[in-house]
Amino acid sequence: MEVTQPKKVWMDGKLVDFAQARVHVLAHTLHYGVGVFEGIRAYSTPEGGAIFRLSEHVDRLIESARFYHMPVAYSRSEIEKAILETQVANGILPSYIRPILYRGEPGLGVKNLQGKVSLSIGVIGASKYLGDGSDAGVRAKISPFRKPHSLAVPSFAKATGNYLNSYLAGIDAQKDGYDEAILLDKGGNIAEGSGENIFLVRDGTLYTPGLESDILLGVTRDSVLQIARDLGHPVVEKTISVNELLSADEAFFSGTYAEIAPIREVSHYQIGSGKVGPLTQAIAKVYYRAVHGEEPKYRSWLTAFPVAKAVAAARA
Ligand SMILES: Cc1ncc(COP(=O)(O)O)c(C=O)c1O
């Protein structure tokens, strides 16, 4: 995947050049996977640019840090301001913004809580992630790798170490020619994709697994649930078996990077008609309008920022 790299990376209060954005090789986070992060998108809107659900992402970042005993030296509003500053300094749009809290100084010893907890923020160009771009839907494989039990590694905290599991499942699916993996939970029920939540539709009702299936509670998942309810469709959060997924009328992934990605096939079984279903289409339409500032009802999900003329021209 070709990505636009940032010119500047925000590191503990300073915007440094991309080439200087470095961390020590003996850093605690590098060795033990104890870091917490977010993935956030910024979009163009009729008024300029906007970050989608910034405060929800910052809340999750702070909550993840709390769980991993990482004191955060910045307030919510300071983090939001820093994210906006980094976005504006780089002028990349649409963008994917990656704040991360980590112990970056030399600090070996797994129980070492001494090292400073740093915040850095990078911005890259965002592109379509899943599928071939035809919008015909993605092919997903039920992964041989399960989600870890949340008593081993809690799924609600977005920690760097969690992504060993996503990596193994994602690469396995990719090597088998699929677009994405679907991981099962400890009980063999549907949990989520390697970097997305999952939904299915049956008889006009939208279903998605809950926290008991060891999922990350996605910000996009929450947006989808709100949109579906507002469209008048019942939504149910419950344990979902593999059978229920394979026999669904429609299915799709949701995630900040993946956005709304219809699923047309799961492990060689066609889902529904094999085409993007009507409820998936209806939700996706509202979602994409909302992120681009075209749905007044969801305007509060956006944090606006000014866009330089050159950036506006480049995306036109
Ligand atoms: C494992 C996992 N599940 C779900 C999601 C979707 O979460 P969100 O919608 O907040 O991006 C992500 C992406 O962050 C993820 O990595």
Atom of ligand 1 nearest to the CA of 197: 4
Task: Considering the chain, tell me which residue range(s) the CATH 3.30.470.10 domain(s) occupy.
Answer: 8-126+297-315
| Residue 85 CA to ligand 1 centre (angstroms) | 24
Q: Name the helix (H) or strand (E) containing 261.
A: strand 259-266
Contact yes or no for 139/178 (Cβ under 8 A): yes
- CA of 89 from ligand 1 middle (Å) equals 26
Ligand 1 contacts CB of residue 218 (under 6 A): yes
pLDDT at position 314, please? Answer: 53
pLDDT at position 129 is: 75
Architecture of domain 138-276 in this structure: Alpha-Beta Barrel (3.20)
The verdict on whether 8 is a catalytic residue reads no
User: 117 CA to middle of ligand 1, Å?
Assistant: 23
Distance, CA 198 to ligand 1 centroid (Å)? 10
Q: Token pair for residue 273?
A: 């008609």
Give the residue whose CA is nearest to atom 4 of ligand 1: 196
pLDDT, residue 4, reads 86
User: In degrees rounded to 5, what are phi and psi of residue 259?
Assistant: 55, -125
- Please name the residues in contact with 20: beta carbons below 8 A apart, sequence gap of 6 or more: none
- Give buried/exposed letters for 1-40 (b at 16+ CB in 10 A, else e): eeeeebebbbbeeebeeeeebebeeebbbbebebbbbbbb
Q: 120 C-alpha to center of ligand 1: Å?
A: 20
Which residue's CA is minimally distant from atom 5 of ligand 1?
196
Nearby residues of 74 by Cβ (< 8 Å), 6 or more positions away: 82, 119
**DSSP class of 27:** B
223 lines ligand 1 (CB under 6 A): no
Specify the domain boundaries for CATH 3.20.10.10 within the chain.
Answer: 138-276
The secondary structure of residue 158, as a DSSP letter, is -
Nearest CA to ligand 1 atom 1: 195
Q: Selecting from 3.10.20.30, 1.20.120.530, 3.30.470.10, 2.60.120.620, what CATH number does the domain 8-126+297-315 have?
A: 3.30.470.10
Which residue's CA is minimally distant from atom 2 of ligand 1? 195
Indicate which residue's Cα is closest to atom 13 of ligand 1.
195
29 lines ligand 1 (CB under 6 A): no
Q: Which atom of ligand 1 is nearest to the CA of 162?
A: 1
Q: Is the CB of 87 under 6 A from ligand 1?
A: no
Residue that is written with structure tokens 């977005």 in the block: 158
**Mean pLDDT per segment of 10 residues, for the chain of length 316 residues?**
85 98 98 98 97 98 98 98 98 97 97 96 90 79 98 97 98 98 98 98 98 98 98 98 98 97 97 96 98 98 86 52
The pLDDT value given to residue 133: 61
Task: Tell me if 303 CB under 6 Å of ligand 1.
Answer: no
pLDDT of residue 147: 98
Ligand 1 centroid distance, CA of 20 (Å): 29
